[in-house]
Amino acid sequence: MFLEQLLNGLQLGLVYALIALGYTMVYGIIKLINFAHGDVFMVGAYLGVLGYTVWKLPFPVAVVVAMAGAAVLGVTIERLAYRPLRVRNAPRIAALITAIGVSLFLEYFSSLRFVFGPNYRVVDRPFKDVRWQLGPLGISNIQVIVLLTVIALLLLLQFVVYRTKIGKAMRAVSFDMDAARLMGIDVDRVISFTFAIGSALAAAAGILYVMAYPQIYPFMGIMPGLKAFTAAVLGGIGNIPGAVLGALIMGMAEVFTVGYVTSDYRDAVAFSILILVLLVRPAGLLGKAGPEKV
């Protein structure tokens, strides 16, 4: 029982981690809380499901199509909604309100019948759910796929951020945007790339989430998005390892609450942990407190 709950918590936490990375990378670069990110997760999930159920694409191709579509959506949101505010040096509250507006637009536009429709849908999984018993631990092929896919994507992100030229530019822009621009870095291109990679990871998370919990609807991004944002803050927003750590804590807390207490308190416990941690460490578990730039 305990080991199975641990595995379920790890699975859920890793899916949250993929979403949380988008929040933390965007905040690390331009100090924006992109509340539309949970809805990019939703659009990615729809694109993936449509890919292997309606368009009859092989599952890996459907995943790539969904990640590419979400990346394009993320870049479009950045260029149309956030970049004009950044160019005009608008206050942060304007960007925050815009993010909420984009989120609502995506949710209600997706609910239109000629887009995705307003109803819940139970979707077919791309694979049969096969379970193996390893001593006291029961494990399914879906869990194995989720764990291996998320770990592979996290390693790929680490490679991009710490071993490539664009990753070096991302770190330079997050450290000092003006200095990076003076050094010849195309800051706008770096910001667009950050939105693209964060959105692609959110789409992958959406498909994995639907594989684990096979239903889909236009508002499905709200709660996972909020929990992933909470995980990013819990770990120290702007810090990539912190986002992963915070997501794992959130996933474990949620699953163990459901398993050993009651599902009624799953959200309350998860958000209570955030409040307790921030009372002790306002910058998050791995974040570093510093003065705000003005």
Q: Across all residues in the chain, what is the average pLDDT? A: 90
**pLDDT band at residue 168 using 50, 70 and 90 as cut-offs:** very high
Contacts of 225 (CB under 8 A, 6+ apart): 19, 35, 37, 38, 39, 41
Q: What is the pLDDT of residues 39-87, one digit of tens each?
A: 999 999 999 999 999 999 999 999 999 999 999 999 999 999 999 999 8
For residue 152, is pLDDT > 60? yes
pLDDT, greater one: 62 or 124: 62
Question: Against a cut of 0.75, is the pTM above it?
Answer: yes
* Alpha carbon distances (Å) from 288 to 65, 215, 224, 255, 277: 37, 39, 25, 29, 14
For residue 17, is pLDDT > 60? yes
Q: What is the pLDDT of residues 223-277, one digit of tens each?
A: 999 999 989 988 888 888 889 999 999 999 999 999 888 888 888 887 888 788 8
**pLDDT band at residue 289 using 50, 70 and 90 as cut-offs:** low
Least confident of 1-15, 184-198, 206-220: 1-15
